Amino acid sequence: MSVKAGYIQPVLSNSAFIIPLVFLAGACSGALLAWHWRGRRAASTTPNPPRSWPLVLSTAILTTLGLAAAGYGFLRQRFQRTQVSRASMEQAVADFRKGAGVRAAGSARSSAEAAGAEPGKSAEPGAKDSAGEARRGDNGKTPAAGVYAYRADGYYEADVPVLGKERRVLPKIVPGILVPSGECWELTHRYFEQHHWTGRFCRHPDDGLRLEWVRNKNEMFSMKTESRSQCEPQAFVLPGRRPGDKWPISCTSDPPRRDPGAGKVEMTVTYVGDEPVEVDGRPQAARRVRRLFSMKSPHTGYMSQDVWLALGSGMLLKLVVKGEGKGMGKFQSDYHLTLKSLTPSR
């Protein structure tokens, strides 16, 4: 549901590959340089030219150190820490108006009116605002389109050898852009202008609310990455499940990394139960679900994601993320988002 270890993998993979390559190139270059320099010079006067192994070794070491220093400087210059900027509500609203958001909202409104509802009202009974139920959109099946404000607190960070540490403290407000499409909607959290998370939610007659896919776009250490993941089964809560029940799901990322198996993650889902979340100063009925996955190779650690989904509308009301891991580098995350208001900006 949120920031995952996957966005750090390209950084770790590149640094893990480049650093030993620099030393290997230095050792080979130094050895060949000393070998040919010593051997070729004596070739014209000596049938079997002598080679001084101490000279070969010292030349190789010096060349290795020289190339390593140059490589270190290149890496630090090429992969500098990204200077992040806060994602503003004003810019998010402007982008919503220019993008598909207004068209989607208008389409949903037209569908509702065609079904016999008054303008601005839902055609589905019980879809209007009420105590304990989050607001639905004009079509009565999705949350209302617009830009939502989420209160945020916490941080996430990555610490990579040679490249250094990049720590990001979340701003007080994180915009959430919601664009409906039929019985589905996409919700994009802009943690920063350099980091966007998008999830596609859909209603299904068999198993209720589904999370069809997640897309994560991020920039760290001056490297832009984008990944898309999909899990099976997609339902947040399987039919017939009770609070406390657990079940496994399998998630794959696209495009896969070098090893296709490295893009697969096994998660354990727990239906914690129904817990209200305070929004707009009043409790909103919500269903709490926890997703937990453990990493074994090439990194070890865990990531826990708790989500609170509004009963009825399916709106994401609250998100809590905690995790840590290590391998070629270290990462850690500890933050939460809580919906500030059920009324979006348009």
Span 187-239, pLDDT tens digits: 999 999 999 999 999 988 776 899 999 999 988 777 788 888 899 988 888 88
Give dist(CA 143, CA 166) in Å, integer. 35
Report which of 343, 284, 277 is spatially closest to residue 144, judged by C-alpha positions: 343
- What was the pLDDT predicted at 123? 32
- pTM of the predicted structure, to 2 decimals: 0.70
- What was the pLDDT predicted at 237? 84
- What was the pLDDT predicted at 161? 79
Asked whether 130 and 168 are in contact (CB, 8 A), the reply is no
- What was the pLDDT predicted at 84? 83
Asked whether 295 and 5 are in contact (CB, 8 A), the reply is yes
- Residue listed under structure tokens 């865990």: 302
**Residue 46: helix, strand or coil by DSSP?**
coil
Give dist(CA 50, CA 42) in Å, integer. 7
Give dist(CA 156, CA 168) in Å, integer. 6
H or E element, residue 228: strand 223-232
- What was the pLDDT predicted at 276? 96
- What was the pLDDT predicted at 180? 93
At CB < 8 A and 24+ separation, what contacts does 81-86 make? 81/164, 81/166, 81/220, 81/221, 81/222, 82/166, 82/194, 82/219, 82/220, 82/221, 82/222, 84/168, 84/192, 84/193, 84/194, 84/195, 85/192, 85/193, 85/194, 86/171, 86/192, 86/193
- What was the pLDDT predicted at 9? 43
Phi, psi of 109 (to 5 degrees): -65, -40
Asked whether 24 and 320 are in contact (CB, 8 A), the reply is no
- What was the pLDDT predicted at 23? 54
Give dist(CA 342, CA 315) in Å, integer. 9
Report which of 79, 295, 90 is spatially closest to residue 190, judged by C-alpha positions: 90
- What was the pLDDT predicted at 208? 82
- What was the pLDDT predicted at 328? 75
- What was the pLDDT predicted at 127? 35
- What was the pLDDT predicted at 18? 52
| pLDDT < 70 regions, the chain | 1-53, 55-57, 59-60, 62-81, 100-140, 207, 255-263, 297-298
Span 5-47, pLDDT tens digits: 443 444 444 444 455 555 556 556 655 655 565 555 455 555 5
